[in-house]
Amino acid sequence: MTRPTDDDYSTPPEAVRALLSVEGFGGAIWEPCAGRGVLADALREKHRDPVYATTLRRDHGRGNAMAGIVGGVDFLKTDVKLGRNVVTNPPYFNAELIIRRAVHFCPVKIAMLLNIKFWAGAARSVGLWRDFPPVRVHVFADRVTMYPASYDGPKGTTTENHAWYIWEWPYHPVPPTLHHLNSRDFR
């Protein structure tokens, strides 16, 4: 299986349900890297406030901002804040820029689904993690398997570990607390 050039991996709904079992989000949520909308749809299953979904690719739009996904929106360039919270599974190659952009909006809460290896970057240890460490990290004890959105082959398990990284406002840089989640409890 080859890596998609745009890092378009679908987020399993159980990973979102697990997040919502431990984190509350008061108000609207903005999913700025929505791709085909799997994460946004899972948020809409449980979250009572609006979920706005945008994506960079124009061909992924499914309607308007109130019902689906708005394509052609570059989160890194927009100045329009669509929700009090930002929840996404960002493309790994752009994740730090997306986190910093989300921080720029000073939302109530940010949740980013990232590979646990993201914590280990040498440049991030003196940059992002010094400037904006998350307040909580929810590590999946079981492995959350994500496939390229267009993948249609046999499904298996992964050797990768993922976690939800959480930031809250008012922001106070403190060492993050670590917690465990099990996605299998939410299938």
Q: What is the pLDDT of residues 115-164, one digit of tens each?
A: 999 999 888 888 899 889 999 999 999 888 766 666 566 666 666 899 99
Whether the CB-CB separation of 108 and 94 falls below 8 Å is answered with no
- CA 92-97-102 angle, to 5 degrees, is 105
Residue 113's pLDDT is 97
* Residue ranges for the chain with pLDDT beneath 70: 1-9, 58-67, 146-159
Q: How far apart are CA 68 and CA 61, in angstroms?
A: 7
Give the DSSP H or E segment for 15.
helix 13-22
Residue 30's pLDDT is 96
Structure tokens at 146: 């994500």
Given 3.50.50.60, 3.40.50.150, 3.40.47.10, 3.30.465.10, which CATH number is that of 13-186? 3.40.50.150
Residue 69's pLDDT is 87
Whether the CB-CB separation of 87 and 31 falls below 8 Å is answered with yes
- 46 three-class SS: helix
